[in-house]
Amino acid sequence: MPFDLSLLQQRHSVPSRQLGEPAPDEATLHELLEAAIRVPDHGKLVPFRLIRLQGEAKLVFGRRVAEIAQKNQPEMSDAKLEKDRLRYTFAPLVIAVIARLDALSKVPEIEQKLSAGTVAHNILLGAFALGYGAQWLTGWAAYDREVAALLGLADNEQVIGFVHLGTPQTDVPDRDRPALGDLLSSWTP
């Protein structure tokens, strides 16, 4: 089967503020997510799950995240609070990628997190392949236990990222990429 690397060579993130309707329809989203969960998974632990934020739910989520921010940092500026409140409103669909860590497994937690991270990356690649835009964001909310509770996460779960999905509303130029020569070396004994 011939393979073309152009997908990997051209993929880039589209800022969430530049993502609008339409999001993938239900059938396309199902197909995208089915493909995205085909990741390396040492021990077959399935150390990930997905939470959809869409419609009114993502608006309420943003408001509650801002409330948590204000409670934890009462001196936070109104502009920063507004940014937190609006963060999830731009793209029509946000998928929270969650790592489910099994501390009793022989598989190191870092491998479990990396498996969940590849799910997020696959969503980015799949969205691009289907003609959609996507951006993987974290921010403080991804690491906050009150936000984790808001999402209904168990103690062994954590947010890997919020993948914002939609249709690019403008052309987004690619950013400068590192030179492979600066990154690749050869080990010699």
What CATH number does residue 149 fall under? 3.40.109.10
Residue 134 lies inside a defined structural domain of this protein: yes
Residue 71 lies inside a defined structural domain of this protein: yes
Q: Find out whether 39 and 122 touch, Cβ atoms under 8 Å.
A: yes
Categorize the per-residue pLDDT at 3 as very low, low, confident or very high, splitting at 50, 70 and 90.
Answer: confident
> What is the DSSP code (8-state) at residue 12?
-
Q: How many domains does the chain have?
A: 1
Residue 33 is part of which domain span? 14-168
Annotated binding site: 11-13, 38, 42, 136-138
Q: Find out whether 34 and 103 touch, Cβ atoms under 8 Å.
A: no
Q: Note the pLDDT of residue 1.
A: 63
| pTM beyond 0.75 | yes
Annotated binding site for FMN: 11-13, 38, 42, 136-138
Separation between Cα atoms, residue 12 and residue 19, nearest integer Å: 13
Residue 2 lies inside a defined structural domain of this protein: no
